[in-house]
Structure 1
Amino acid sequence: MRFIIDGHNVTMRDPATRSLSTEEQRDALVRRLAARGAQLLGGGAITVVFDGRTADAPHTSGALEVRFSAEESADDVIVRLVTGVDGVAVVTDDRGLAARVRAANERARVLGCEALFEAARPKRRGVRYPAATEGLPKGANKITEELKKLWLDGE
């Protein structure tokens, strides 16, 4: 699967980056995807498209490619990238772009930004259980309670 990320749309919806400057938003998203892209989205190539231009050519690092749209809009670049391609998904909350993507390639999947944020959230741990008592001598917990009283009564 190839994932195409609507960079500005994602960073403006991300609670972790929306208050940052545009450049800081871009850097944060690129760093996150470079470090955890496969974990967040699953296997496959990831292309992030941002509006505007940069002095650098498109940047590629492993499965991550960063592109800037230059003279055209990022939406136009994204639509061009999905046209006629199998196994592609676009991450955006932009309804207009989603409609254009579906019109250009009916097999393309459109994922909301929440899919990316949900995968980034730490997983809740299960219920914590008390320490196992297996292997402890009979009455070990009682001794612990006695020591607790001795040590803590003096405070």
Structure 2
Amino acid sequence: MWLDTLSLLRERGRGHRESGGFLLGRLRDGKRTVEAFLPYDDVDPNSLTGAILFDGSRMDTVWERCRRDGLEVIADVHTHPGGVGQSQTDRDNPMIPEVGHIALIVPNFADRTYLPGDIGIYEYRGRRRWIDRSGDGGRYFAVRRFA
């Protein structure tokens, strides 16, 4: 699923603009399991303008999908043209402004496969404060292969 998500990010960004989406899944015993990816531009067709300008009034589509499939927003993910650091815009505008929300940043417009340790992982703490969890990659975000 992570590889498919990276592929979609790469495709939607066309190698020259940011792209992103919501990671949907379930929270059980303190662990988040991602089961679906919902690209921003499927929710707001005008969101990918170079940077991401997402119309928050479109979130009803996200909540309806979650209700329909019994899922919740586990995290959000978006690409950057260079590194994995948060921009001021990222810090000031969390996609889900709830304490504990996780935001992932994939570098270089997702031009290849990136795994924990290669991506930015940020936990929202409220009031525009974040904790950088990137160095704890495997603890906060793990990619598992299933046979």
Give the shorter-chain TM-score range. 0.3 to 0.5
Structure 1 or 2, whichever has the larger Rg, is 1
TM-score by length of 1: 0.32
Between Structure 1 and Structure 2, which shows a larger proportion of strand residues? Answer: 2
Between Structure 1 and Structure 2, which shows a larger proportion of helix residues? Answer: 1
